[in-house]
Amino acid sequence: VQEHFSGSSWQRVAGPMPFSELLGDLQLRALFWLPSPHVFRVGNSCRAFQETLGSGRNRNFWQRLAPDEGGRHGWDAAWLHTIMEAPEIEAYLREAEAFAVFGEMRFWSKSQALGMLAEVHRLRDECSLQASPPDPGRSPLETGACSVFVGPSSFDPDALLAIAAAGPDEVPSARGAPVSLAWQDGAVQFDVRLVVSAAGAGGLSLSWETNFASALLIETRDCMEVHVSGALVPVGVDGLAVAALRDGAVVHGAEVVEALAGRQLLSVFCVNFSSMCDREKVAMLASLLDDDELENVLNGYRIQSGGLPSLPWLGQ
């Protein structure tokens, strides 16, 4: 609330004011300007609005206000008021600290958002089982070795139908746009790309491609490992939660493929990155070094006696 009516004019409030403080302020002003009905009208409206938001009817309020919006979650903001109550949004945002978002996700029901979170939990659990953490007493989740990313799929879902309809001698595939990731503040950059391929008998399979975008020396590249696993999570305006398509599994059946193709798809993937056998965390590539700076950082150092380049981060 930025302004309210007082007496015969509107008074501007310096910044947001909680309802409890605003109501008290209005009641005090009503004692000084008793003839003004506007103060009581505004106070009653604020009290009713406070009761609506605090009584578990928050979702119903926003659904009436924006019935076709659904929920949105982007890299810088989340707006889930039409599909969740306030305590549920708070719990979701706590869970969202475990992954980074690229693009903007859309949800049309709470079950769709929870389905995405279930895939995030599954990937993080698999990460903890697959990895060998540097500290035997701590899991990779505690040491920050697991990096999870979620965002909209980058290829047309109609391509799934064409792939599933391919003949027995054809092995078509669709490759999504790359997601750019980085380690050491962009000094080492690589792309992760989603690939959906035909798996025979009208089936689909999911895999991931990685490609280093940085001009790394061979010795440096040999010291790095990237393993990616993930899933496609379908979301649609009908609000139904559809089973995810996971890598390593094959989806068969025209009905299943049509269900995937008829919905927006979210990519959920986990990156296990290691350098010199030490597991490291990677992040979204927010800013790029120009070519000259990158060349100076990666190629401007001499090879040490051990065959490794004298890169500044190897000793960290």
What's the pLDDT band for 162 if we cut at 50, 70, 90? Answer: confident
Q: Are residues 259 and 171 in the same domain?
A: yes
Q: Answer yes or no: is 23 within a domain.
A: yes
* Whether residue 148 is found in the same domain as residue 12: no
Over residues 4-11, mean pLDDT: 50
More confident residue, 32 or 155: 155
Q: Are residues 102 and 152 in the same domain?
A: yes
* 214 occurs within a structural domain: yes
Asked if residue 273 is part of any domain, the answer here is yes
Residue 82 lies in a domain: no
Q: Do 46 and 114 belong to one domain?
A: no
Pairing of strands 104-107, 147-152: unpaired
Whether the pLDDT of residue 229 is over 80: the answer is yes
Q: Is residue 196 part of a domain?
A: yes
Question: Over the chain, what is the mean pLDDT?
Answer: 72
- Residue 193 and residue 195: Cα distance in Å, rounded? 7
pTM, rounded to two decimals: 0.66
pLDDT tens digit sequence for 267-309 = 999 998 887 767 777 877 753 344 454 444 444 433 333 333 3
Domain interval for residue 249: 96-299
- Whether residue 84 is contained in a domain is answered as no
- At residue 106, the pLDDT reads 92
Residues 16 and 102 in one domain: no
Residue 57 has pLDDT above 70, yes or no: no
pLDDT of residue 184: 77
Q: Is residue 86 part of a domain?
A: no
- Judge if 153 and 44 occupy the same domain: no
- Whether residue 243 is contained in a domain is answered as yes
For the chain, what is the domain count? 2
* pLDDT in the model for residue 58: 65
Q: Are 132 and 185 in a shared domain?
A: yes
Query: For 112-124, what is the mean pLDDT?
Result: 93
* pLDDT cut 90: percent of the chain above it: 14
Q: Same domain for 184 and 36?
A: no
Query: Which token pair is 273?
Result: 């990155």
Q: What is the pLDDT of residue 56?
A: 60
